[in-house]
Amino acid sequence: MADAAAATTTPLSPTEARRILGILRQPAVFVNMTADWPVRTWSADQLAASLGDSLIRFRLGRKDETNRPLFETQCAYLEANLAQFLRWTSGHSEADVGSFADYPFSEYWAYADYKYIAHLFQETPSKFKDVRWSDFGFEGRDGRASTLWIGSQEANTPCHLDSYGFNLVLQVQGRKRWHLFPPEDTTSMYPTRIPYEESSVFSQVDVLRPDPDRFPAFSRARPHRVTLLPGQVLYVPRHWWHYVESLDPVTVSVNTWIELDADDEARVCEAVTKTVVCALKAAPSQDNDDTWLNPTEVAASSRQKDEKALDEVATHKENMQCLNLAVRACTQQRTLKTKALKRDLSEEPTPVSALFGPHLIPVLCDPHDLGSDGIFSGKTQTKRAKLSEPPADRPASPDQVQVRQHAEGTRGDIAEQAPAQGAGHAAPITTNDLLDCLVHPDVITRVTQLLLEKRGRRRRGSTATHHLSLGQ
> Mapped to the 3 state alphabet, what secondary structure does 131-184 carry?
CCHHHHCCCCCCHHHCEEEEEECCCEEEEEEECCCEEEEEEEECCEEEEEECHH
Coil, helix or strand at residue 29: strand
Indicate the angle between helix axes 82-89 and 44-51, nearest 10 degrees: 150
Q: Could you tell me the pLDDT band of residue 371, with boundaries at 50, 70 and 90? A: very low
Q: Are the C-beta atoms of 271 and 452 separated by less than 8 Å?
A: no
Higher pLDDT pick, 147 / 397: 147
- Nearest residue to 178 via CA among 409, 435, 403: 403
Highest mean pLDDT among 65-69, 99-103, 422-426, 454-458: 99-103
Instruction: Supply the DSSP symbol for 293.
Output: B
pLDDT at 397: 42
**How far, in Å, CA of 172 to CA of 143, rounded?**
14
pLDDT at 25: 93
Instruction: Supply the DSSP symbol for 209.
Output: S
pLDDT at 465: 52
Instruction: Supply the DSSP symbol for 376.
Output: B
pLDDT at 66: 86
pLDDT at 204: 98
Of 125-139, 267-281, 312-326, which gets the smallest average pLDDT?
312-326
Of 174-178, 406-410, 449-453, which gets the smallest average pLDDT?
406-410
Q: Could you tell me the pLDDT band of residue 307, with boundaries at 50, 70 and 90? A: very low
pTM of the model: 0.82
Q: What is the dihedral of CA 205, 206, 207, 211, to 10 degrees?
A: -70
Coil, helix or strand at residue 226: strand
**How far, in Å, CA of 304 to CA of 317, rounded?**
25
The answer, yes or no, to whether residue 271 has pLDDT greater than 60, is yes
Mean pLDDT of 68-79: 96
Q: Could you tell me the pLDDT band of residue 380, with boundaries at 50, 70 and 90? A: very low
Instruction: Supply the DSSP symbol for 319.
Output: H
The answer, yes or no, to whether residue 365 has pLDDT greater than 50, is yes
Instruction: Supply the DSSP symbol for 433.
Output: H
Instruction: Walk across the sheet containing 76-80 and list its strands.
Output: 76-80, 56-62, 108-116, 147-152, 250-258, 166-173, 233-236, 28-30, 360-362
The strand pairing partners of 56, in sequence order, are: 80
Domains and CATH numbers, the chain: 2-260+351-400 (2.60.120.650)
Higher pLDDT pick, 91 / 111: 111
Q: Could you tell me the pLDDT band of residue 298, with boundaries at 50, 70 and 90? A: low
User: Which of left, alpha, beta for 174 (phi over 0: left; psi -120 to 50: alpha)?
Assistant: left
Contacts 24+ apart (CB under 8 A), 333-336: 333/261, 333/264, 334/452
**How far, in Å, CA of 445 to CA of 453, rounded?**
12
Coil, helix or strand at residue 105: coil
Q: What is the dihedral of CA 36, 38, 42, 45, to 10 degrees?
A: 100
